[in-house]
């Protein structure tokens, strides 16, 4: 970011108006940009409501999740179906260029999220959880519509028009009152072009990540079962119950009514903590005090312990990156290090997740228990081969982690660029 843009941002933060800019109802923008309300460009309509039995087959329907999940909609993105009469189809038919807004949500942040239909879809309709904005005159380029409602200023304007009590945009009249500043159509096209290129880069990175995940899954299935052997290893494997090569115990939860049981003395891992972690876990949202640890069945697990979910997210697995304790929903597994490497166990349990869930279902129990986990059969090569397999899989994890960081950085770059372009802080040559 050059000094001119930095200076412009600092001026706006102070409430000053940079040269060539003006103050409007919805922020400071270039003087050439024009002020409007959405009602100048769109006719609004609430979507279709049908009984539950009507869904599952019939004509395509744009649902809340479609709009929430993608800023630009193609035919392939529309998965929902609904049985309708011809009259209903005619009343709620969508057209290329229609803009859809999420009408209701549990949170104010998810109200008024938008998506644009980028291609025609025969006899497609839209649901009652969505508001349709149909263009009635030129002025906003279709591709610009993909992005222009996502800036911080526009999001504030849209959510401000929603009902705080019902968390809903009750009708198109409210949305039509939203103020918007617009560059000319040539500049709109250029802004959209730049942001679409950012989206293509993000999509490419996402596809690459998915391909790497498939490759890792193949490696796990091949290497952890002995179907494929690494060079130099020929010794036979054994199949053995996990309980014979490890010690394990579950955690505990102190009385939640006792505030003094909670503090900053010990990491206390929950299922939610595990789900948001990677291979290793180093922290938890909630921590126990020494008093709390001493007044429940939780015990301290050493660094390197394999933590295994028995409830809710059954089969979820992480390795303790620090000394920690856990809730009773989690089993701490300490391998016999002479026979079983902890990382090899981690990968083995992940690879077996589907069969473990099936085992739990067959037991007619709502959750796993220590006895069932002890009975899990582990394919066990000699320890040196375990370490060699772990090295291969760890390298695959490192590659995925790097790609994921690159993806997050690309998303941050796009978000920053979008805010600068959609407010005119950064200008483009049309």
Tell me the backbone φ, ψ of residue 38, rounded to 5 degrees.
-65, -30
pLDDT of residue 202: 96
Find the mean pLDDT for residues 133-158: 92
| Residue bearing the bigger pLDDT, 199 or 167 | 199
Which of left, alpha, beta for 20 (phi over 0: left; psi -120 to 50: alpha)?
Answer: left
- Rounded Cα–Cα distance for residues 275 and 157 (Å): 34
Q: Provide the greatest CA pair distance for the chain.
A: 77
Within the chain, all domains assigned CATH 3.90.220.20 are found at 32-182, 238-380
User: What is the dihedral angle through the alpha carbons of 166, 167, 173, 179, rounded to the nearest 10 degrees?
Assistant: 150
- Rounded Cα–Cα distance for residues 117 and 61 (Å): 12
The dotted CATH code for 32-182 is: 3.90.220.20
Token digits of residue 135: 């263009």
Domain 238-380 part of CATH 3.40.50.300: no
pLDDT of residue 169: 63
Tell me the backbone φ, ψ of residue 249, rounded to 5 degrees.
-155, 155
- Rounded Cα–Cα distance for residues 191 and 142 (Å): 12
User: Residue with structure tokens 């998810």?
Assistant: 110
pLDDT of residue 164: 55
Token digits of residue 29: 């923008």
User: Residue with structure tokens 């079962």?
Assistant: 225
Q: 276-306, pLDDT tens digit by residue?
A: 778 999 999 999 999 999 999 999 999 999 9
Find the mean pLDDT for residues 199-217: 96
Give DSSP secondary structure letters for 226-271: TSS--TT--PPPEEEEGGGGEEEEE-----TT-GGGEEEEEEEE-H
pLDDT-wise least confident of 206-220, 359-373, 376-390, 411-425? 359-373
pLDDT of residue 398: 95
pLDDT of residue 182: 96
- 3-state DSSP call for residue 379? strand
Q: Report how far apart, in Å, the C-alpha atoms of 183 and of each of 139, 140, 195 are.
A: 9, 9, 15
pTM for the full predicted model:
0.83
Token digits of residue 366: 């709502």
pLDDT of residue 422: 94
* Count of residues in the chain: 430
Where are the extended beta strands (E) located within 280-344?
A: 280-281, 287-288, 306-309, 317-320, 325-326, 330-335
pLDDT-wise least confident of 31-40, 105-114, 230-239, 419-428? 105-114
Q: 160-170, pLDDT tens digit by residue?
A: 877 655 566 66
Q: Report how far apart, in Å, the C-alpha atoms of 377 and of each of 203, 211, 247, 409 are.
A: 39, 29, 15, 41
With residue 207 as reference, give the H or E element that holds it. Answer: helix 185-223
Give the list of residues 6+ apart from residue 191 with CB closer than 8 angstroms, or none: 144, 147, 183, 421, 422, 428
Q: 297-340, pLDDT tens digit by residue?
A: 999 999 999 999 998 889 899 999 999 999 999 999 999 999 99
- Rounded Cα–Cα distance for residues 333 and 241 (Å): 13
Residue 84 CB coordination number (10 Å): 19
Q: Is the pLDDT of residue 2 over 90?
A: no
Q: Is the pLDDT of residue 358 over 90?
A: no
User: What is the dihedral angle through the alpha carbons of 394, 397, 398, 400, rounded to the nearest 10 degrees?
Assistant: 160
pLDDT of residue 430: 67
Give the list of residues 6+ apart from residue 264 with CB closer than 8 angstroms, or none: 287, 289
pLDDT of residue 166: 55
Going by C-alpha positions, the residue among 340, 347, 90, 359 that lies closest to residue 239 is 340
Going by C-alpha positions, the residue among 72, 183, 45, 12 that lies closest to residue 126 is 45
Mean pLDDT computed over every residue of the chain = 92
| Residues 82, 55 contacting (CB under 8 angstroms) | yes
- 3-state DSSP call for residue 348? helix
DSSP 151: S
HSE of 23 in the Cβ direction (CA atoms, 13 Å)? 7
């Amino acid at each position: 970011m050059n000094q001119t843009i930095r200076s412009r941002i600092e001026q706006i933060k102070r409430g000053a108006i940079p040269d060539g800019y003006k103050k409007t109802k919805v922020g400071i923008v270039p003087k050439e940009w024009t002020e409007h309300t959405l009602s100048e460009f769109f006719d609004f309509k609430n979507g279709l409501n049908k009984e539950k039995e009507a869904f599952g087959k019939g004509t395509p329907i744009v649902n809340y999740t479609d709009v929430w999940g993608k800023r630009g909609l193609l035919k392939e993105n529309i998965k929902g179906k609904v049985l309708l009469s011809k009259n209903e189809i005619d009343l709620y038919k969508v057209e290329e260029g229609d803009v859809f807004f999420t009408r209701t949500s549990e949170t104010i942040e998810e109200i008024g999220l938008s998506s644009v239909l980028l291609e025609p879809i025969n006899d497609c309709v839209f649901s009652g959880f969505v508001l349709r904005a149909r263009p009635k005159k030129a002025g906003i380029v279709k591709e610009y519509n993909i992005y222009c409602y996502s800036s911080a200023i526009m999001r504030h304007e849209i959510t401000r028009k929603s009902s705080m009590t019902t968390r809903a945009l009750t009708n198109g009249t409210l949305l039509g009152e939203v103020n918007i500043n617009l560059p000319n159509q040539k500049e709109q096209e250029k802004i959209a072009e730049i942001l679409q290129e950012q989206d293509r880069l993000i999509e490419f990175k996402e596809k690459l990540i998915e391909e790497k995940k498939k490759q890792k899954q193949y490696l796990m299935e091949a290497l952890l079962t002995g179907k494929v052997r690494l060079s130099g290893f020929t010794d036979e494997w054994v199949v053995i119950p996990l309980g014979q090569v490890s010690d394990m115990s579950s955690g505990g939860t102190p009385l939640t009514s006792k505030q003094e049981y909670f503090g900053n003395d010990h990491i206390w891992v929950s299922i939610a903590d595990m789900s948001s972690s990677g291979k290793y876990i180093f922290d938890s949202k909630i921590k126990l005090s020494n008093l709390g640890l001493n007044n429940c069945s939780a015990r301290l697990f050493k660094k390197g312990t394999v933590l295994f979910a028995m409830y809710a997210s059954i089969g979820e697995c992480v390795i303790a990156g620090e000394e920690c304790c856990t809730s009773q929903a989690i089993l701490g597994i300490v391998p016999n290090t002479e026979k079983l490497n902890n990382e090899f166990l981690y990968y083995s349990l992940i690879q077996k997740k589907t069969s473990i869930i099936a085992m739990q279902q067959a037991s007619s129990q709502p959750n796993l228990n220590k006895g069932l986990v002890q009975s899990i059969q582990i394919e066990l090569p000699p320890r040196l081969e375990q370490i060699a397999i772990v090295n291969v899989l760890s390298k695959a994890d490192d590659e995925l982690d790097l790609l994921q960081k690159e993806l997050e950085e690309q998303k941050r770059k796009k978000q920053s660029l979008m805010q600068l372009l959609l407010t005119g802080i950064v200008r483009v040559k049309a």
